[in-house]
Each structure stands twice: as C-alpha cells, then as structure tokens.
Structure 1
C-alpha cells in the first residue's frame, strides 16, 4: 500500500503538521532522497520549531535505510546546510524548516552535491514519486524499530517530543552529530577586511529563530580579530513558541521592535531575519525599513567596486535601479526569472559574482551560488566604514531616482480576468514588453510588473518610475483600481 503526499511544492516541501507532514512522511522523504540521488553521505539540520527535531530524526532514519550515512548539524539555519554540503563534499543536504510559515507548519529545503538546489524538474518530482511508492507496511515496521514509544502518538510529535531514538540511529553506524559552525564563520569573514572597520553599533533581531547562535559566534570572532562592532540583541534566544510572533520582517507589522531598538540605542543600522535566516532585512539609523530592491543595488555596487566587469543577476519585478548601477560601473546586468532555483541556475551559467531579489534573497558565487542572510549585512557594514556614509545616505539618492511601490498583493475571485483587464488597457501603449516572469510593461518614465501566484488566486503588482514619486503613486492607484474591479 502506498501513501499520497501533498506537501511537495515547486521548489521545496511545506505542509500542515499531522495533515500533510508527519514523521512517516519525513521517513519516506529521507528514503526516497537517498535512493533517487544514490547518496552515500547527507547532511541534515533543522530550525528551532518544536517539530523540526522529530522530523529531522525521522528523515535521518529514512536516509539511513535508503543507504546514506547522515551527518546531523543539530539546530542550524538553511545556509549552514548549504555551506556544509559543499564544505564536507557530501552528496546532499536537507534543512527541516518552515521559515516564516505559521506555527502549525513545517517543511524541508533540499540540495544535492555542491549545494545545487533540487526543484520540480531537477529531482523533486522523482523524490515525491519514490516517497509515495514506498510500501506502508515496511515504513511502519521500520519506524517501530527506530522508536522507543509504541504506538506512535501524533500529539507527542506535535509537541516536539518525537519518537525516533537517537541511540538507535547511532547504533546503525551511519549517524553522527557534528558541527561546521567554526568553518562557516571563517568563510563568512572572507567577504570583509578587518582593517576596514571603524566602530559600529548594530541591532540584531533574530526573531527567536536560528540566527542568534550565528550572531554570537560572529561576535566572538569580531573580538578575536578586533573588529569594533557592538551588537544590540533583540528577541535573541531561540524559542520554538515564537513569543514575539513568527519571524517574518517582510510583514510591516513585524518591524516595530527592530526599528524601536535602533532608535533607542542610536544604532548605525539594524538587521532582522526570518526563522531560518536565509533572508536579511535592513533598517537605517532612524529605524526606517529599507526595501530589499535597493539593497540589491547596494550589494551590486559593492562587488562592482572590486570588479567593474562583474555580472550581476536580478529579478524582473523591479530593476531600473539595479540596471543603472551595473551599467554605470561597466558591469553586465542579467535578468532572471524570480525564484531561488532560477537565480542559482542562471548565476552558475553566467558565473555571476552576485544575484539579488527584491524579496531579500541574496546569492553569492563564493557561497556555492546560494542565498545567505549573513553575508549581506556584513558587506553593508563594511561599506558604511569604507565610504564613511550612513546607510540612509547610500540609498536615499537611489530611492529618489527610482521610487517604487514595493510588491502589492491583491487576492481576487478571478486572477486571470484581472490580468486580462490590465493587459487590454496597457499593452497597446507599452514601449517595451518583458515576459521573463509574469508581464512587465514599460512606458518611458514608468513601468510595472504583474505576476500571478502559482498557488492561490493572487496578483502581485510592482510599479516604479524614473524620479517621479507622484507618477509612481498615481499609476499604482490606477492599476490597483483596475485589478480589483471585480
């Protein structure tokens, strides 16, 4: 007997606990991952959620039975798995995380050797099929042999107690706990020069997620290297109950604590992360949130200062500012479809030094072309010192030159009809049309991008202009009225 599995998405695995994702599903995924990739060694880790450790151990049991040896990094961020996969030269890596999803969800992010992402067409469909085809009686038998509690109680799993016995995993001879934290920290520090730093005070909001441990390790490394950075730590300790809310600074209502701490402590800037800290969000010295779009341009400039001929990858939602910066420096701007799998693939193809998305995902060639939430703020901190400017002064001119609406979502009854209404009115007037991702139309002094969600009846709108805030606001309101005219 097989089992249908519904938690596989386009790029990763996400599902509601006990409905779509439980220990049995995690075991199946581990077994399938091992067999499909014929993986000899796999590194695993998990975020701070209550169910991440139980799911990770069930995943490890499946990996072992599928033929893999497992290296368990314990509590770790997604980028630590990316790093360890390449650093340890293993055949794959899996992070158990739900990132910024609600508390009753969890999931997994999967990579193969060299931290190359696994998405639908590059192995995820095959893993799903193999996981579903695994015989249910065999799965139940194996789980019973790995557990110390019979029968398995779903409530215990949901409360983070779990059922897989670590001792049984260890007795297999194919499971060990290890750490790559020191090597990971050393790698992060290769992106900056210690001598460039003057004293900085920075607010670091870990959101009670997995980032706090890395901030502490960096703090120790800074002291050893005499890098004069002082941290003001907010919601620092890992807490699976998330007493201050699910860490997702992309939501405006989740930014107040970081902004307030920046102002209270007269910090130079602030940063906040999501739960598995693969996204970094920045605040200036007045506590103002800086849209990720402008951070892409800032980081592009940082690399172009060192290599003016570098290739920079960016997503098609908002891009005039990025293109202008790259072109002025003599670099090569390369547009890519939105999404980490597409960005990483294009970066490898172009050998691009950096790639950025307005959603605060930043990718680096020397970080296995992967996204990281730690390297961006390190580079920004160094820029403040070398350019002797504030963060606000470095971005305010760019914001004025290319003001943008940010991404505005509209939930609709009929997204296709809304898209058709917009295209009927604006497409005949467009001077340029871009269909890299969704539809992008340019009109000389302003442009917009409109994308449908792949999973829900939602339209995502981004508008920008050339130095004309009233025009950008006027066109945004005009487009929203048409989109929402159901």
Structure 2
C-alpha cells in the first residue's frame, strides 16, 4: 500500500461535470493524480486491460502523465504512454485501440491550470453520469488511506500521431483540392504538432496547401495570447495574418486542439453555426450516398436556427440537445447520428467514435472551399442567414431573480417558451429567439440571441440585458 498523503487535496475542487480541472500544486497535484489513476482502473474494472495516458504541452502534463501511469499500473493496468497528444488524439487512440484512456490538459485555461479528460474504451466519455464521481470518491479515499498494493501492471510507450493523421485523411480526401493558402494559429498549443502531421508533409505526402504557421512552438505558458479562440481578442493576430498574407482561410485551435475556429479571406470570423451547417450538409450527402435515409445530425439549442433548417432541407433529421459534450456524445450514440455541432466550435463525428475533433471539422471546411472557386466569405454567407449576438455573459449576485424578470417580461402572446437547457424564448412569427442559461461553474448568466436582421437582434439583446442587469 502506498503511503497516504499528510494533507490530501480535496478532489471536489477539481472534479467537474465532464472532466477534472484545477490549479497545479493546489487543487491538482502529483499525489492526487496518482490516486486518480489507481481509482480509474478500479472503478472501471481495468485490471489487466490497456490504459492509454498522454498530455498536452503544459509544463506539468508530463509529470502528471507519469504519476497517473504509476497509479494505474500499480492497480494492474497495462499502461501505454502516448507522450505529447491533443485531446482528439486520445479519442482516436481510445477508439482505434478499443482501450480506456486519459489526457492531461486544461484546454483553454491559463498556464497555472491543468486537468484530466477521461474516456472508456471506444472513446466513450467518462462524466459525472458515467463514473467520474465514483473515481473522485475512491481517489479521495486512496489519498487519505493509501493506495492498496496489488499485482503490478506494466508501463510502455506508444506513438499514435501518424496513425491519427492517416485516419483523418481517410475520412476527408483533400488531395484534389485547388491550391489553398492557410494561416493556422496554434496558440502555442497542440495544433502546432498535429497541423503539420495532418495538413502538412512531415509524416504523410504533401497536400496542395501552403501553411502559414502562427505560434506553432509548443509552450504551455502561452507567451503570445491565451489559447482560447472563443474570445475575439485572441483571434486578432490570425485575422491580421490572413489579410497580410492574402490567405484563403485562417484556422485557430484551442490549447488541446479539440476546437477549431474559422476565419475567411477578409479576416472575418465564420460562425461555428455556419461551420456546423456546412459540415452537416457534407455528412448528410455522404450518408445518403451510402443508402442511409434521413441521417440524424445533432445540434445544441444555442446554434443558429439556420442549422436545423438546413439539415431538414437536405433530407437529414435535426436533433436538438442541451449544451455540453457528454450530452452530445450520448445523443450521438443513441440516435446513430452522423455528425453533431455546438456553438462553442466542438464538432462530433460518428466516424470519429462519436467524439469531437477540431481538425476533422477544419478538413471538411477546407474540402468544401477547395472544391469550388469562390472565396470563403461567399461560401460562408450561404450558411449564415441570421444575425447572432454571440454568447454574452453577465456576472450576477442573483441569477434566478434575473431570469424571473425576463420571464415576467416575455411570457406573453406571440412568444413560445421552452426549458430544455435554461430557458429559450422564441417569437412565434420567427423574427427572433434568445436563450438564457446559467453557468454550471461560475456566477454567470449566458445570453444568446438571434434574429432575422441586425436591428431586431440588437433590440432584443439590449432589452434582455437591461432586464438581466438591473
């Protein structure tokens, strides 16, 4: 039995609904990670089974990967260390090798953070509904009492980057694209490694692309800007570079490279809803070409109304769901959906084990752009017929009271209300809709509004914000 920690970390501070995320040295430590590795094996029954472990470029990820491996192998697992990986590389490995795994990353969070995303064999997510809290509770016990001694497993090394790149290329054929100049902002995150492997010629034959790299150096201190493309300020360097280099497209990835944001040739963002609609059209057509009738496509309730309209127009079946990757993945599996998209630029593919991958979504956008002659700004306009506010956060002392004020004002004739996730108000004439949703982890109320024109959207947005913030 390993020695108990004198002052064990309170794991409830870092275990969230979908993953683990905490401050290095405070709410996530080598000792706590070692205990989590042991509990991961015990809770999921992985003694004698393969467990895959890797991490991103954060300074603490390598040490945490090794600590997790020690805990897991100590409970009898056959650990395979993947080294530096993106989050979607872990999902690929868990799917292709049919093994459970964990990746150390805090995604877009600052350098002082790290965390763990875990998956079962087949890339099935481990969330609060599928064992994550059981792992937390057992790990907390191991921190207090020590990890029981058992039959030792093994720890070996494996590299999956080339197989990951080959697999993605097998899903989208880019060899026939017209030549494209692509600026990629990796934000000093893992896309600095995966982009050359998938879209470049470092591991596979070259494609008809000229890649202009921005911040490809792997550096978990994020010296240039935070690796969070959801914040408009973090896209400014990419937007300027696209215009400067006369590029056809810009791609921005978050720190662990599971999300991708798209910039057109004019330097303007292409909304994740437009990307969802574009990829949905391609995946519906492919599935129907294989004989599938009305292939399902998942979209969360924050995506543009244009998404379900296009899905239904193209002969697919639009399935609306709550926000959050564990919900999306569960519905993907239940519905046998071919694709799913979120407003936050998470894109899920049946052919990628129902998991999210920013790189595969980017490849679909590149294929759509490369198979026609027009610029991305024209192509994207086809998928953005409405005007959106984007997500607006209000930090409030009393979130329920703010929602009550909006309910009182908007519960009236001509407005439909539903409560799938937060509360959504929709004008029955189709001119506007908005959703209010409380954050699960912060004192924020999130507003997303959309309308048929900019004036209507601004009127609705400003009216709701005034009620929320009064």
TM-score by length of 1: 0.90
1:166 maps to which residue?
none
Contact 1:318 1:464 in 2 (8 A): no
| 1:80 and 2:89 aligned | yes
CA distance in structure 2 between the aligned counterparts of 1:76 and 1:430, rounded to whole angstroms? 50
Of 215-224 and 233-242, more deviation after overlay is shown by: 215-224
Change (3 A) 1:303 1:222: farther
The offset of 1:448, in angstroms, is 0.7
Secondary structure in 1 matching 2:383: helix
Q: Distance in 2 between the 1:280 and 1:55 partners?
A: 26
Please list the CA deviations of residues 162-208 of structure 1 after superposition, one character each: whole Å capped at 9, or x if unmatched.
xxxxxxxxxx6600111111111111102222453110110011111
Instruction: Indicate the residue corresponding to 2:178 in structure 1.
Output: 198
C-alpha displacement of 1:429: 3.5
Q: Is the 8 A contact 2:106 2:113 kept in 1?
A: yes
Match of 2:75 in 1: 66
TM-score, normalised to structure 2, is 0.93
Q: 1:242 aligns with which of 222, 238, 251?
A: 222
**1:44-77 residue CA offsets vs partner (Å, 9 max, x unmatched):** 1101010111111111111011221111110100
Residue aligning to 1:363: 348
1: CA distance between counterparts of 2:271 and 2:232? 11
Residue 291 of structure 2 corresponds to none
Give the CA deviation at 1:227: 2.5
Deviation at 1:451, TM superposition (A): 0.3
Select which of 376, 391, 409 maps to 1:407.
391
Q: Which residue does 1:25 correspond to in 2?
A: 32
Q: Are 2:98 and 1:89 aligned?
A: yes
User: Which among 284, 308, 316 is matched to residue 304 of structure 1?
Assistant: 284
2:22 matches 1:15: yes
State the match for 1:257 in structure 2. Answer: 237
Write out aligned runs for 1:249-398 (5 A): 249-308=229-288, 309-398=294-383
Q: How far has the Cα of 1:224 moved from its partner?
A: 5.4
Aligned 8 A contact 1:222 1:228 in 2: no
Distance 2:285 2:322 in 1: 26
The alignment's C-alpha RMSD in Å is 1.8
Are 2:416 and 1:432 equivalent residues in the alignment? Answer: yes
Aligned equivalents of 1:198, 1:75: Cα separation in 2: 32
Residues 31 and 143 in structure 2, CA contact (< 8 A), matched pair in contact too: no
Unaligned runs of 5+ in 2: 289-293
Bigger helix fraction: 1
Q: CA deviation at 1:240?
A: 2.5
Count of aligned pairs: 452
**For the Cα contact (< 8 Å) 1:407–1:460, is it kept in 2?**
yes
SS of alignment partner, residue 358 of structure 2 = coil
Q: Offset of 1:430 from its aligned partner?
A: 4.7
CA deviations on 1:312-367 (whole Å, 9 max, x unpaired) are 10000133110111111111000011100000000101111100001000000010
Provide the secondary structure at the position in 1 that maps to 2:28. coil
Using the alignment, how far apart are the partners of 1:136 and 1:119 within structure 2?
A: 23
Single out whichever of 24-33 and 435-444 deviates more from structure 2: 435-444
Aligned to 1:124: 132
8 A Cα contact 2:199 2:206, kept in partner:
no
Look up the SS of the partner of 1:387 in the other structure. coil
Supply the distance in 1 between the matched residues of 2:199 and 2:380 (Cα, whole angstroms).
27
Q: 1:375 to 1:324 in 2, by over 3 A?
A: same
- Unpaired stretches in structure 1, ≥5 consecutive residues: 143-171
Whole-Å Cα distance in 2 between the matches of residues 122 and 240 of structure 1?
30
Give, in whole Å, the separation in 2 of the partners of 1:222 and 1:49.
23
Report 1:147-226 matches (<5 A): 174-221=154-201, 225=205
1:430–1:441 Cα contact (<8 Å) kept: no
Shift in Å at residue 311 of structure 1? 1.1
- Tell me how far apart the structure 1 counterparts of residues 381 and 77 of structure 2 sit (CA, whole Å): 51
Tell me the CA shift for residue 427 of structure 1. Answer: 2.1
Aligned pair 1:457/2:464, yes or no? no
